[in-house]
Amino acid sequence: MGNCLGIQFIKLKQGARTGLKLLWKDKENVAVEIDDSAEEHTVDVSDDSSNEDWVVVSKSNEGYRPLKNSQESKKKKKKKKKKGHRITKDVVEECFAPLTDEEEALVSGALSYSYRREVLVSHPNCNIDITGENLMCLSPGGWLNDDVINLYLVLLKEREERESHKFLKCHFFNTFFYKKLISGGGYNFQSVRKWTTQKKLGYSLLDCDKIFVPIHQGAHWCLAIINKKDKKFEYLDSLKGFDMQVLPVLAKYYVDEVKDKNKEDVDITSWKAEFVTEHPEQENGFDCGVFMIKYVDFYSRDVGLCFDQRDMPYFRRRTAKEILKLRAE
């Protein structure tokens, strides 16, 4: 397969879960559409004459792989060109790169009870120490804690700075930002005013394509995004919940922040407030934090959210590996 033409989320007729379609163009200029809404994934390969072959593919940690070809369908179909996030096969493979045997052993050892009282890693710049007990939140069924989430977000920023050509320019607020912003009666810009100085960050939030804000709803993690690139304020909840307060608060914050730091009046009257519903859904009571950080990961790459509940065990171990190595890939 070659370059991807688009990525589109679809709903099953039963409404049970969100599926995924990827539309590729291979080196022979053949359109290839991957439908992730079924247990087995079928790829419709159409040439200019509309004759079709069917390729059965499987989704693994290495991405989407064709298993076999057949000539079972020659029925002509007209295809509409779908708009969506542009993505390359290399990015898909990078997002699902399997851990090596050494990395698997590293993660298994760190998640064992033998190291629960030891400091496994310390980040030199953000003053976060990860003990074995902290990291165990990435074990199956664990609820992600502030230290693990915040260190992972620091690693995403370092990844962007390391390979800026591959990622959007983003800012990743930590898990304490929003709670501080709404302290003292609903909105308190002064309480977070010094968090984003030029001296501290080295850049202005006005320069960022996307600003990610983790939202903790009691016992549940959600995500809000100040999306300058697409002129939106977005809210994502893996359980499809809503919080009507968050987006107006962040809209006010963004206006105040730009006024304070850049001495400009930013016009957001045309921006949309969007509660994103077509996204991967959580199907249990403990993976919300993993969904949240992977929303951040994929959106910072400027690609669609091409994962689902089945990928959570892999993402937990991958995140543990990245934290142990202090390097997000």
Residue 117 and residue 111 in contact, taking contact as beta carbons nearer than 8 Å? no
User: What does the H/E/C string look like for the chain?
Assistant: CCEEEEEEEEECCCCCCEEEEEEEECCCCCEEEEECCCCCEEEEEECCCCCEEEEEEEEECCEEEEEEEECCCCCCCCCCCCCCCCCEHHHHHHHCCCCCHHHHHHHHHHCCHHHCCCEEEEECCCCEEEEHHHHHHHCCCCCCCHHHHHHHHHHHHHHHHHCHHHCCCEEECCCCHHHHHCCCCCCCHHHCHHHHCHHHHCCCHHHCCEEEEEEECCCCEEEEEEECCCCEEEEECCCCCCCCCHHHHHHHHHHHHHHHHHCCCCCCCCCEEEEECCCCCCCCCCCHHHHHHHHHHHHHCCCCCCCCHHHHHHHHHHHHHHHHHCCCC
Those residues whose C-beta lies under 8 Å from the C-beta of residue 69, and which sit 6 or more positions away, are 53, 54, 55
Catalytic-labelled residue, pool 36, 147, 237, 311: 237
Catalytic-labelled residue, pool 137, 170, 288, 306: 288
Task: State yes or no: is 220 an active-site residue.
Answer: yes
Catalytic-labelled residue, pool 220, 243, 256, 302: 220
Residue 134 and residue 116 in contact, taking contact as beta carbons nearer than 8 Å? no
C-beta contacts of 127-131 below 8 A and 24+ residues apart: 128/154, 130/323
Residue 181: other Cβ atoms inside 10 A: 22
Question: In DSSP terms, which residues pair with 8 in a beta bridge?
Answer: 21
Q: Which residues are catalytic?
A: 220, 237, 288
